[in-house]
Amino acid sequence: MAGAFQGFGEKAIPFLKALDFHQSREWFQENRDLYQSELHEPFCDLVETLSERFAAAGLGLRGDRKKSLFRINRDVRFSKDKRPYNRHLSAILSPDGTKMEQGVFYVHIGLERCFAGVAWWQPAPELLQAMRKAIVTKPAAFRGMVAALKKGGLALDAEDCLKRAPRSFEDVSEDDLAQAVRNRHFVVRHDIDPATIHTAALVDGLVDFTLRAKPLLDWGRAIQGKTG
């Protein structure tokens, strides 16, 4: 039954560890009930609870238990790694409730780490170009967004940035702007203490993070609105 998120089961992470050890469809089927009760159903409740809280906070992000979660099964068609299952479960809440939009909230519960992010991830070339142009032509707006994130204890992640300036941005000389135009993505992250995933308080922490990340959403949406 759907309901307010009360926490992941105490066996959620142990289940992922056991699944990673076995990596067996037979084992997974034998333990599907445990997966449903400890991980999947609580994750569905988390998505729907966050969707309600995000709506109340005016964040423009939503999801549901059918569309938002990624499958725990790996797509191995084009991978040398043929292990059938992921080491994590994850979901996206977005402006339209699908996984195809930009300017999203992402939450990831896994063996290596548990974290959330607010992201413009791999934006289409037209939007990425517009974001880079906005950085250079309206630096005050960009720096204001960065300062607002910093005030909230957040910073843009430089992971996977280009080593050199992209074409037509070679002459950007100010260090912070030159770094920013090399980004392929615009992302802020929030590490989740795995010990906190078993209570309803997880929701409050994720809502607080997303509110602190709102300057990034607002900045990207303003640019996106001009390219749509």
Give percent of the chain with pLDDT exceeding 90: 92
Q: Which residue from 224, 22, 32 is spatially nearest to 129, judged by alpha carbons?
A: 224
Give the tokens for residue 151.
């005030």
Q: Which helix (H) or strand (E) holds 214?
A: helix 214-227
Report, in angstroms and rounded to the nearest whole number, the Rg of the chain calculated over CA atoms: 19
Contact 220, 213 (CB under 8 A): no
Q: What is the pLDDT of residues 189-214, one digit of tens each?
A: 999 999 999 999 999 999 999 999 99
Q: Rounded to an integer, what distance in angstroms lies between the CA atom of residue 14 and that of residue 12?
A: 6
Q: Which residue has the tokens 């005016």?
A: 58
| pTM assigned to the model | 0.94
Query: How many other C-beta atoms can be found within 10 angstroms of the C-beta atom of residue 9?
Result: 19
Average pLDDT over residues 126-142: 97
Residues 180 and 135 sit within 8 Å (Cβ to Cβ): yes
Given a cut of 90, whether residue 179 has pLDDT beyond it is yes
Q: What pLDDT, on the 0 to 100 scale, is given for residue 80?
A: 84
Q: What is the pLDDT of residue 2?
A: 57
pLDDT at 79: 84
Mean pLDDT of 166-176: 94
157 vs 159 pLDDT, higher one? 157
**Of residues 82, 86, 83, the one with CA closest to residue 71:** 86
Residue whose tokens read 């430089």: 158
Which residues share a beta bridge with 72? none
- Tell me the average pLDDT across 103-115: 97
Q: What mean pLDDT is reported for the chain?
A: 95
Q: How far is CA 71 from CA 9, 85, 165, 206, in A?
A: 19, 9, 36, 22
Contact 162, 155 (CB under 8 A): no
Residue 146 to residue 130: CA distance in whole angstroms: 17
pLDDT band at 120; cut points 50, 70, 90: very high
Residue 227: its pLDDT value, please? 58
As a whole number, mean pLDDT of residues 38-50 equals 97
pLDDT band at 81 (very low <50, low <70, confident <90, very high): confident
Tokens of 16: 């992922």
CATH code at 12-227: 3.30.930
Listed in sequence order, the DSSP H helices in 63-195 are: 125-137, 139-151, 175-181
The torsion angle over the Cα atoms of residues 13, 17, 23 and 27, rounded to 10 degrees, is -70
Q: What is the pLDDT of residue 1?
A: 40
